[in-house]
Structure 1
């Protein structure tokens, strides 16, 4: 089975491609349109990509929803057990017992039976502080990645301080997983544009952010090509 990497570049669309994105333009030369589901938000779309099912079937009806048993609304839950149905790595294992999967920051990545998982997970202190950190499975990867790349820059991942630093950290972790384990399938989430598009608005300037993302994607694609991996890039 050919080893494959799926890069989920949040917020990327054809309308953003241009002179700032030469690497992405090259990839777009052999592309197809994806008809989005409703709602076309990160958690629902990623769950559909993982299962091949619609939200009515896999249960992820948004980035958050009303939990009837608790009478509360919760956003950005993280347990993989919330996704109903088999995931793509289950189908892979059914075809080939040696199939393996690394999930680098696609959502619902805790309590997962993927072979390797890395996902944001802050530390909530007793005094009310929220410290940047990540969750990994196996757990020793957290220490390894923190030592190699520093603490995961959570506040650069989402929010007003968003920067390319979070996607760069994720890309570094994805390269490390490839070098260490050579998974059959690796899922990589690059979130940079997601909040940037909200900050800039429909008429804002995205030139710097597009250049940074294009450079990162180009470097990552070249790396995986050099490892004889097929690369699929998609968005949500």
Structure 2
């Protein structure tokens, strides 16, 4: 999973001519075995079995690391997105889902800024400030306590959300994440994509379709609920693709099917911060919140991965406290991080990897009465770890504190939980779907289709993607 050689592209044959347009369908949670005539006939008609193959995610197989890798062709050791959260060592703060571009140059920025193509991207992470010609990302107006005052989206161009709202109503944020998550978020995104095509006719449009992510976490990939939602997402895509087929450039369009990762069935929550607290390494304040600055060690958890940050002199004690926990498959030191290609300053001093049927929850308390106030709220910014329990209604608040309800997780890189990659549509070139495609090959493949491989190579050689990171 090393950074790509810009002069090679193992995933496609040389196209006989550059297609006019590439539409990327980023259907998170989809795997090749899900594409069949019974459950997903629309996808199967465009991406037959020989045109879909496994996609090997980067380690860790988490939303932001996977998305940044797919859109840049660089792995986490290079781009520095090692989790969907980021731990600021100087401020001693763990923050999730910050929404700014923050120096990232992704495929759409390269295509727009360096090659002059018209580009678009919907609902990807870290879009605020992007130079894509059309972009949409949720950005609700919140008060100082993270309470939503008004729904809003950040868009390029400015004012595009007003137009979308007039036609589609507000983006359904409470159906996009939380106990009410359902297909309405994906339905709105695909409707917005149709509006973007009608108005801007982009040469490259990347569309994030999140619907399967919810049921993949709540019920797990082998559940009846997941099978049912495969049919739902196929129906949503059918409506979008029917409209796309009526556009003037349909005959010159390539469709790229991408999934960031697959899911593991899980039934064992693991609590590394409890172990650190019991060892006297993690401190809390008077309200029950973690006092990261006053702690000797803290674990920033994200599904099946946890980054452990420890003060000088406390690393061995933290490793010893965590060693007794069941459900941990590996504890990565510097050598282990280098082997998994996550050796970046943003990574934890130790990185924990859960066993396939386990996942990490951020809780440091045992008694619910000692939980911080935000624990039962849907508060993705205040919580210092990813919380899939936000998918379930609670007994004593909006969000459940019963971690045993979670049925699926991701983050490990196992063949059973690879994502998928495929090429289809009327202008798709020959595609060898025999063997997995590495996530770092996706951006070079799409760049090659668009005839901008040299521009992507220049971006690879010359820009710094993440603050605090190395040269790309």
TM-score, normalising length from structure 1? Answer: 0.90
- Distance of aligned partners of 1:153 and 1:208 in 2 relative to their CA distance in 1, 3 Å threshold: same
Q: Which residue of 95, 99, 119 maps to 1:101?
A: 119
1:216 corresponds to which of 236, 245, 251: 236
Structure-2 residue corresponding to 1:27: 46
Q: Distance in 2 between matches of 1:93 and 1:116?
A: 11
Tell me how far 1:75 sits from its aligned partner. Answer: 0.8
Correspondences of 1:50-89 after superposition (within 5 Å): 50-83=71-104, 86-89=105-108
**Distance of 1:218 and 1:136 partners within structure 2:** 26
Residue from 20, 26, 44 that aligns with 1:8: 26
Q: Distance in 2 between matches of 1:207 and 1:201?
A: 10
Residue 110 of structure 1 and its aligned partner are, at CA, apart by 0.5
Aligned equivalents of 1:56, 1:193: Cα separation in 2: 28
How many residue pairs get aligned? The number is 233
CA contact (8 A) 1:60 1:82 kept: no
1:189 is matched with: 208
1:87–1:207 CA distance, 2 compared to 1 (3 A): closer
Match for residue 195 of structure 2 among 154, 173, 176: 176
User: CA-to-partner distance for each residue in 1:163-217, whole Å, 9 max, x for gaps?
Assistant: 1111010001100000001111011000001011111135422243222100111
1:121–1:133 Cα contact (<8 Å) kept? yes
Give the match for residue 310 of structure 2: none
| CA deviation profile, 1:76-133 (whole Å, cap 9, x unmatched) | 11111253xx321344347743x11111111111011111110011221468632433
Asked if the contact 1:105–1:120 (Cα under 8 Å) also holds between the matched residues in 2, the reply is: yes
Q: C-alpha distance in 2, partners of 1:27/1:39? A: 30
Distance 1:202 1:87 in 2: 30
Matched residue SS, 2:52: coil
- Equivalent residue of 1:145, what SS? helix
Alignment partners' CA distance in 1, 2:153 and 2:112: 27
Structure with greater helix share of residues: 1
Q: Decide which structure has the larger Cα Rg and report it.
A: 2
Q: Distance in 2 between matches of 1:49 and 1:181?
A: 24
Distance 1:120 1:128, change over 3 A: closer
Deviation at 1:233, TM superposition (A): 1.1
Given that 1:37 and 1:45 are in contact with CA atoms closer than 8 Å, whether structure 2 keeps it comes out as yes
Match of 1:162 in 2: 181
Looking at structure 2, the residues matched to 103 and 202 of structure 1 have their Cα atoms a distance apart, in angstroms, of: 27
Q: Runs ≥4 in structure 1, deviation > 6 angstroms? A: none
**Is the 2:122–2:206 Cα contact (8 Å) retained in structure 1?**
yes
In structure 2, runs of 5+ residues without a counterpart are 1-17, 261-472
The answer to whether the 8 Å contact 1:225/1:231 transfers is no
Question: Post-superposition shift, 1:24?
Answer: 2.0
Tell me the equivalent position of 1:148: 167
Residues 221-236 of structure 1: matches in 2 within 5 Å? 221-227=241-247, 228=250, 229-236=253-260
